[in-house]
Chains A and B, each alone.
Chain A
Amino acid sequence: GAVVSQHPSWVICKSGTSVKIECRSLDFQATTMFWYRQFPKQSLMLMATSNEGSKATYEQGVEKDKFLINHASLTLSTLTVTSAHPEDSSFYICSAKTGTSGLREQYFGPGTRLTVT
């Protein structure tokens, strides 16, 4: 089946620094990738939608200058958390979609645990 990977699986950074999270579709080309954030004991919250070669679309309330998304190829999207603060500590999950249709065709990565100290 389709596999999505994320790197790193966990990261600790100091307040004020930036951290980059990679999301890769390993065996398929992803026309669209999504980034979610999940706080402890809460549901996933969609942050942004990323289409290859175009600017990401951010959900209301998500700061695009703080959460930089780059979807440079059909197999890679990156999320950079700039000037991270402790409140940015969360579990970040990406998903990738094949083709142009299908809820079924969205595959999730294993997630990245970010801790800002």
Chain B
Amino acid sequence: LAKTTQPISMDSYEGQEVNITCSHNNIATNDYITWYQQFPSQGPRFIIQGYKTKVTNEVASLFIPADRKSSTLSLPRVSLSDTAVYYCLVGDRDNFNKFYFGSGTKLNVKP
């Protein structure tokens, strides 16, 4: 499975747009990119998943360049409640068995 690299932490202020980038240089052809959010003492929660270009849902956007060696999670107008750890994972969507969490990015949203 492709290894991912993310910044350990990021700071932002309420109302700002936050972009968290994940590097996955050895991503395979069949791999999809998935982002999870985790609050303290809770299980991870699915945010978004994509394969290429751009994916948008009601909470976030995911930008994936043509070479797919990185991806960027974009959170529009963050609030204090978005303070959490965000994990980027890569794996074969159609032949998926398990995946491994990287270090994640601790996002601190300040008032």
| A residues with CB within 8 A of B | 4, 32, 34, 36, 43-46, 49, 91, 93, 95, 97, 101-104, 106-111, 113
Task: Give, as a whole number of angstroms, the nearest-CB distance from A2 to chain B.
Answer: 10
Question: Who on chain A is nearest to B48 by CB?
Answer: A104
| A44 engages B44 (CB within 8 Å) | yes
Which residue of the partner chain, among B36, B38, B100, contacts A46 with CB atoms under 8 Å? Answer: B100
Give 20 pairs: A residue, B residue, CB < 8 Å, sorted on A: A4-B43, A43-B101, A43-B102, A43-B104, A44-B44, A45-B101, A46-B98, A46-B101, A49-B97, A49-B98, A93-B43, A95-B43, A101-B96, A102-B94, A103-B99, A104-B34, A104-B46, A106-B99, A108-B36, A111-B42
List residues of B whose CB falls within 8 A of some A CB.
32, 34, 36, 38, 41-46, 49, 87, 89, 91, 93-104
Which residue of chain B is the closest to A48 with respect to CB atoms?
A: B98
Q: How many A-B residue pairs have CB under 8 A?
A: 59
Question: Closest residue to B33 on the A side, CB-wise?
Answer: A103
Partner among B34, B49, B97, B101 whose Cβ is within 8 Å of the Cβ of A44 = B101
Chain A nearest CB from B2 CB (Å) reads: 12
In contact, B49 and A43 (Cβ under 8 angstroms): no
Cα distance A34–B44 in the bound complex, in angstroms? 13
- Given contacts A43-B87, A44-B101, A49-B98, A104 and B45 within 8 Å (CB-CB): no
Do the beta carbons of B44 and A108 come within 8 Å of each other?
yes
Determine the distance from Cα of A46 to Cα of B93 in the docked complex, in whole angstroms: 18
> Which of chain A's residues have a CB closer than 8 A to the CB of B99?
46, 103, 106
Report the Cα distance A95→B89, complex, angstroms.
15
